[in-house]
Amino acid sequence: MTRSDIDIREAHDADLDHLQAVRAAAFAPVFASFRSILGDEIADVAQARADEEQADYLASLLAADSKWDVYVAQVSDAIVGFVSVRLDEDARLGEIGLNAVLPRSSGRGIGTAMYEFVLERMKEVGIRVATVSTGGDASHAPARRAYEKVGFTVGIPSVWLCCHLDTA
């Protein structure tokens, strides 16, 4: 697949159901990975509403008062991915936020095309630094590779720690 096969356009409210389907499919293995890492006892509490909260968050990104822009990636008129971006022109800082590619379409350059698109948008308005946050677990390895491919090479490692508390 070439970049010309991928159409990237601004998302519309009418796209939400398709974006939610992309999000759910792309993040199912991520949530499964988290459950495997955390174990059922902690995951049942710490991740109990993760999918629902993420779905609500995605919907909020499309709200008129959102500070985020959302773009969809289409191949043959089918939505296969999306990316959100926030531009702080005063601080000259851009952030890639929630984004996903349908698993059946991964590995075909769609993520790379989306990231190149929003990085170019950042450059057009004078953004000097772009950021993105991702997980360090195996399920996020494809995303990390795609981010690195477009130039994200400086990072601060972080760890999210949990512990189970026995209560009386």
CA distances from 106 to 37, 110, 143, 149 (A): 23, 7, 10, 14
> What pTM, to 2 d.p., does this model score?
0.93
Work out the pLDDT band at 4, boundaries 50, 70, 90. Answer: confident
Domain 3-149: what homologous superfamily? Gcn5-related N-acetyltransferase (GNAT) (3.40.630.30)
CB neighbours of 52 closer than 8 A, spacing ≥ 6?
A: none
Tell me the helices (H) and strands (E) count for the chain, helix number first.
5, 5
In this predicted model, what pLDDT tens digit does every residue of 66-101 receive, in sequence order?
999 999 999 999 999 999 999 999 999 999 999 999
> What is the rounded end-to-end Cα distance, in angstroms, of the chain?
58
In this predicted model, what pLDDT tens digit does every residue of 114-148 receive, in sequence order?
999 999 999 999 999 999 999 999 999 999 999 99
Burial class (CB in 10 A: 0-12, 13-18, 19+), 61: buried
Query: What is the separation of C-alpha 45 from the centre of its chain, rounded to a whole number of angstroms?
Result: 23
- 16 has pLDDT over 60: yes
- Give the model's pLDDT for residue 22: 98
Distance CA 114, CA 116 (A): 6
